[in-house]
Amino acid sequence: MKYTEYWKLAVNKSIDGTTIPGLRHAEKFLSEIQFSQSSPTIVDVGCSFGRMFPLLSGISKTVHGLDVDPFALNSAANFTYSSLRIASAENTNFEDCFADLVFA
């Protein structure tokens, strides 16, 4: 089974009682951030299959996704990311100061 397929299944269940952080957890933290513009540029690092896109797209119309897994990016293409690219967090290939928020 490919990693992304595994992750899609694992994200909603837990073997040991722990919870994998989801949309409500991220929403709590993001609600504390005050953005200087109404639609900040966001880079979703490790976007996987687009799991956080519904939340991030509610903050901005400009959300770029990146992941190291081509299979994951293929699934993320179901969402309207501004761009999707195969890249790591260490080498995003974005210009310096490109994003207003880097979400990981």
Q: What is the CATH number of the domain that holds 22?
A: 3.40.50.150
pLDDT of residue 33: 87
SS3 label, residue 59: helix
The per-residue pLDDT for 29 is 85
Domain span at residue 39?
3-103
Higher pLDDT pick, 43 / 5: 43
pLDDT at 90: 93
Classify 85 in phi/psi space as left (phi over 0), alpha (psi -120 to 50) or beta: beta
* Cβ count near 60 (within 10 Å): 19
At 22-77, the pLDDT tens digits run: 778 788 888 888 887 788 999 999 999 999 999 999 999 999 999 999 989 999 99
- pTM beyond 0.85, yes or no: no
In angstroms, the first-to-last Cα distance of the chain is: 24
- Looking at the 3D structure of the chain, how many domains does it have? 1
